[in-house]
Structures are given as structure tokens and as C-alpha cells.
């Protein structure tokens, strides 16, 4: 049983990152940058009340990722991991998730900080980040437990850009 699920972009992300290589690998990285989310006018009415939240969860379509790999060597580490145990983009459904900082809203444009997303990426959904829902106590990060702190200083290379391999 495999049913197609069809989504359409609600907007587009504008960022300084033109290439999958040399990007911050997470929003918390030092290389993360300001960016904007341009919401298409037909969806702008859904932005009401968003301005009170300091952080948003963005869900977006990883439109430049050319393939699915069930095993990947992530940026943090040298061992092949199951893709669902990583944040690598070569997922069966290439949905990206970033927690970003909301700076301001002007009409249908969200001004964001801590963006780690490729320019031109189609935006699928915006959710308010709510500590009581999204912040489990005492979380343990598996193989990333030690390496997660390296994310501040690391950038991507081109491993997820080229086809094949």
C-alpha cells in the first residue's frame, strides 16, 4: 500500500546559501545567517498572532537533494548511519526541519535569524515553537551525544549534492 501525498508550497525561503556545500549544518551553527520567508499572499491570513513567538519550526521541501540513501555518512562523524538516525537530507521524503528565530514580520514576509536553509527552498509549513510541547526533559542524543556540540563550527561539503554514488 503506497498512497501519494501531495503538498504545495506556502511560500519560499530567501537565504544567502546558493550551494549545498559550505552551508551551516544546523541553525545553531556559527555560519547560520539571517534570511526571509516570503509567504504567498493567499496564505498570509494564517500569519496572524505569529509575531509573539520568538522561535518557529519551519518544515520545507529539500528540493535540491537528488537521491535517497538509507545509510549515510553524516557531517558529524565518519561512520555510516541509518538515515533516520541522522539529519542528513537524503531521506525517503526529503522534508527539512529547522528551529529558527523570528525577528520581525512585515506583511507576508518573515524576517528570520539562524537560518541554515538553501536559497529558493519551498516552504511547506510554519509551526510556533512551544517549549511545553517541543522540549523533552533529559533527552539523550545517541551517537550524536558527544558530536552535537561540534555543530557550531562545522560546515557542509558537497556529499549530498551530486547524483549517484
Provide the binding-site residues for a copy of itself, judged by CB under 8 A.
2-10, 26-28, 43, 45-55, 57, 59, 61, 70-71, 81-87, 91-93, 95, 97, 99, 101, 122, 124-136, 138-145, 148-149, 151
Strand partners, 123: 11, 60
Q: How far is the CB of 12 from a copy of itself (least distance, A)?
A: 9
Positive or negative, the CA dihedral 149, 150, 155, 157 is negative
Closest CA to 143 of 72, 95, 60: 72
Nearer to a copy of itself, 152 or 161 (CB): 152
Nearer to a copy of itself, 20 or 151 (CB): 151
Q: How far is the CB of 16 from a copy of itself (least distance, A)?
A: 20
Are 126 and 43 spatial neighbours (Cβ–Cβ below 8 Å)? no
Determine the 3-state secondary structure of 121 from DSSP.
coil
Determine the 3-state secondary structure of 148 from DSSP.
helix
Nearer to a copy of itself, 67 or 71 (CB): 71
Amino acid at each position: 500500500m503506497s498512497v501519494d501525498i501531495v503538498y504545495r508550497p506556502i511560500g519560499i525561503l530567501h537565504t544567502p546559501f546558493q550551494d549545498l556545500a559550505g552551508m551551516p549544518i544546523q541553525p545553531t551553527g556559527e555560519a547560520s545567517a539571517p534570511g526571509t520567508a516570503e509567504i504567498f499572499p493567499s496564505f498570509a491570513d494564517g500569519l496572524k498572532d505569529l509575531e509573539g513567538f520568538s522561535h518557529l519550526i519551519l518544515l520545507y521541501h529539500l528540493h535540491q537533494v537528488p537521491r535517497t540513501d538509507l545509510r549515510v555518512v553524516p557531517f558529524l562523524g565518519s561512520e555510516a548511519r541509518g538515515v533516520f538516525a541522522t539529519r542528513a537530507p537524503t531521506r525517503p521524503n526529503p522534508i527539512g526541519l529547522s528551529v529558527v528565530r523570528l525577528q520581525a514580520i512585515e506583511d507576508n514576509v518573515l524576517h528570520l535569524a539562524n537560518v541554515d536553509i538553501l536559497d529558493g527552498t519551498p516552504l511547506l509549513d510554519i509551526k510556533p515553537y512551544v517549549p511545553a510541547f517541543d522540549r523533552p526533559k533529559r533527552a539523550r542524543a545517541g551517537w550524536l551525544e558527544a558530536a552535537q556540540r561540534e555543530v557550531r563550527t562545522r560546515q557542509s561539503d558537497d556529499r549530498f549534492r551530486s547524483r549517484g554514488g
